[in-house]
Amino acid sequence: MTLNVIHCGDALTVLQGLPDNVIQCCVTSPPYWGLRDYGNNDTGIGLEPTFDEYLARIVAVFREVRRVLRDDGTLWLNMGDSYAGGGNNAGNTKEISAKQGSNRGNRYEKKLVPHGLKPKDLIGQPWRVAFALQADGWYLRSDIIWHKPNPMPESVTDRPTKSHEYIFLMTKSARYYYNADAVREAPAQDYGRRPDDYNGRDFNWTKEKGGIRTTDKWSNPLGRNRRTVWTIPTAPFPQAHFATFPPKLVEPCIMAGTPPKCCGVCGAPWEAVVERKATNHKARQDRQDATGGAMTGGVGKNFPDVDRAITGYRPTCDHGDGSGRSIVLDPFMGSGTVALVAKELNRDYVGIEMNPEYIVMAEKRLTQEVLAL
């Protein structure tokens, strides 16, 4: 399999030529049904006469994605929603996605209404796709809300302006690689929780004990587990007439879904070696004294003062070869953002794109030396 290239062709056809169980992670945003013409002579995904036909093609593509993924691999699937139109373009209020725009304009003068829906109905396209993939064998592990603080304006007066899309975390197996430490968030102060809260006591810590009411002192020093709402602005790309996949949206997907080091023989991830050591013993003892020993025993185990640092990596297979690099797949590469972020994070990539003009654009971006993430 050739790495760090963008193959020009139909996603399903190119995927069928890739070997089994070789990709660590797939990050992608497939075309949405009936929204855009990508210049593919009416053969591209999204131009099907019915939504059911679109779903069937999407399922077929991602069945191949599942085949080429390693058993511990992950899929990060971005999708936005749109509205059903009909009649004389009634209800044709289509949300323009941050990745789905096209300088060729709308494909249909009259947008079709999927069976069972009415004009102006929200199609629910992301969830219909997610459930179809789940029914085909994917594990649906998380729905992430991409909150866009700078959404595309909409000239609508009978509903709110849409300012979010979905990212679905889907997996091939029940057990899979996920690096929570790589994507932790800065811990937020919580002035309402204290060690004694977990003992069932509830009193005014500040007034009665003179303590500092923050849980950061005894939470994970690497940060809190990442939440499911990601606030990331859209990122326009000057060489295209549309907004592209923001690098900041792709970055956590790759960091969580791929190990920074893996086996050069079988691709198995190398796991981080984390050193833990207690620190600041006096502050811990002061809190124990102030709470009457509440920090000791079982409760104390949950709130130690420790430093955690990654000191290296070790193999999870028997080969002992740490020369490998994770491979990131995007079967709908567009302007190349997934490849660009993979390159910046020292991962390899495999891209597929049907439009040769987009490939030229993506390859030009990939020649840049620095990407400001």
Q: Specify whether the CB–CB gap between 187 and 151 falls below 8 A.
A: no
For 239-291, write each residue's pLDDT tens digit: 654 557 899 999 999 999 999 999 999 999 999 888 776 655 555 555 555 54
Lowest mean pLDDT among 29-33, 50-54, 169-173, 204-208: 204-208
Q: Specify whether the CB–CB gap between 61 and 11 falls below 8 A.
A: yes
Q: How far apart are CA 51 and CA 165, in angstroms?
A: 19
C-alpha separations of 31 from 155, 167, 216, 227, 354 in Å: 23, 14, 42, 26, 11
Mean pLDDT of 284-304: 47
User: What is the signed CA dihedral for 32, 37, 40, 43, rounded to 10 degrees?
Assistant: 50
Terminal C-alpha separation, the chain: 28
Lowest mean pLDDT among 105-109, 128-132, 247-251, 276-280: 105-109
Share of the chain residues as helix, strand and coil, in percent rounded to the nearest 5: 25, 20, 50
For 346-361, write each residue's pLDDT tens digit: 999 999 999 999 999 9
Confidence at residue 189, expressed as pLDDT on a 0 to 100 scale = 55
The closest of 20, 22, 51 to 35, measured between CA atoms, is 51
Confidence at residue 200, expressed as pLDDT on a 0 to 100 scale = 43
- Sign of CA pseudo-dihedral 67, 68, 74, 75: negative
Instruction: Give the containing element (helix H, strand E) for 71.
Output: strand 69-79
DSSP assignment letter at 83? B
Name the phi and psi angles at 331, rounded to 5: -80, -5
The closest of 50, 51, 44, 48 to 10, measured between CA atoms, is 44
Q: Using H for helix, E for strand and C for coil, what is the string for 185-229? A: ECCCCCCCCCHHHHHCCCCCHHHHHCCCCCHHHHCCCCCECCCCE
For 159-185, write each residue's pLDDT tens digit: 999 999 999 999 999 999 999 999 999
Cα atoms found within 13 Å of the Cα of residue 333, Cβ hemisphere only: 34
Q: How far apart are CA 270 and CA 8, in angstroms?
A: 32
Between β-strands 243-244 and 271-278, what pairing exists: parallel, antiparallel or unpaired? unpaired
The closest of 313, 320, 324, 315 to 346, measured between CA atoms, is 324
Looking at domain 5-184+225-267+315-366, its CATH architecture is 3-Layer(aba) Sandwich (3.40)
Q: Which residues pair with 197 in a beta bridge?
A: none
Q: Specify whether the CB–CB gap between 304 and 279 falls below 8 A.
A: no
Between β-strands 69-79 and 164-171, what pairing exists: parallel, antiparallel or unpaired? antiparallel
Confidence at residue 12, expressed as pLDDT on a 0 to 100 scale = 97
- CATH 3.40.50.150 segments of the chain: 5-184+225-267+315-366
Confidence at residue 107, expressed as pLDDT on a 0 to 100 scale = 41
Single-letter residue type at 370: V
Mean pLDDT of 93-107: 41
Q: Specify whether the CB–CB gap between 207 and 103 falls below 8 A.
A: no
